[in-house]
Amino acid sequence: MDVLQAYTGQLLQGALMTVQLACAALVCGLVLGLVLAACQLSRHAWLRRPVAVLTGVLRGVPEFLVVLVCYFGLSNLINNHFDSAFDISPFFAGVVSLALVLGAYACEVFRGSFVALERGQLEAARSLGLSPLQTFFLVRLPQAWRIAIPSLGNLWQSLLKDTSLVSVVGLEDLLKKSNMAAQASHQPFLFLMAAAVMYFCLLAISDPLVSALERRAQRPYQAHRS
């Protein structure tokens, strides 16, 4: 246990990096998923079809491969086209890759939530003279968000675990720090188990937060029904 205490600070730093990466990817992924869902619900086929192909590819390709493409592929693409020595940071590559994958899944969640809305409310919004933009932000989005929260909570849990993939490209997250401590102390089992416990604790902490967010979103709806 003395060995574990000696590396506790590094493990906590890695856990903080994991949370920062997950939160940044969550925000970017939700925004991307919302935009993609709006494109899929468009009446224009030139918007729907490319988005359907993009989300299908991102959901069908392993997340690990997306991380590698964003880290190595983007660097080569930029350097070859602009004749530079630009290096993408592991954190940036992690945010981009995880946000792309999360956005593809969130797109389907948001799309299903929008489709589940009652058409009578949209007709009522039109009768009140609301513009399409006002209808989206004042009527459709709040209700779709309430429907989508449980599924988005599941995506958050998957995202938090998928952050470990970014350690392969050098990000010093929780898994990377635990591997470094394991190599230095020659006790891989101890530190890998410590990382597993810390991942479990992060998920255990986030579960009540997601449940509270879901209850808060349901409160106006339940009050209206009562």
Instruction: Tell me the longest C-alpha to C-alpha distance in the chain.
Output: 70
Instruction: State yes or no: pLDDT of 223 exceeds 50.
Output: no
DSSP state at residue 165: G
Q: What is the mean pLDDT of residues 1-25?
A: 91
- Which of 222, 26, 57, 33 is CA-nearest to residue 112? 33
How far apart are alpha carbons 152 and 67 in whole angstroms? 21
Q: Give the model's confidence band at 119: pLDDT under 50 very low, under 70 low, under 90 confident, else very high.
A: confident
The string of pLDDT tens digits covering residues 159-181 is: 999 999 999 998 999 999 999 99
Query: In which residue are the tokens 């590559």 written?
Result: 93
pLDDT-derived band at 124, boundaries 50, 70, 90: confident
Residue 211 · residue 40 · CB < 8 Å: no
Cα of first residue to Cα of last residue in the chain, in angstroms, is 55
Nearest-angstrom CA–CA distance, 106 and 36? 9
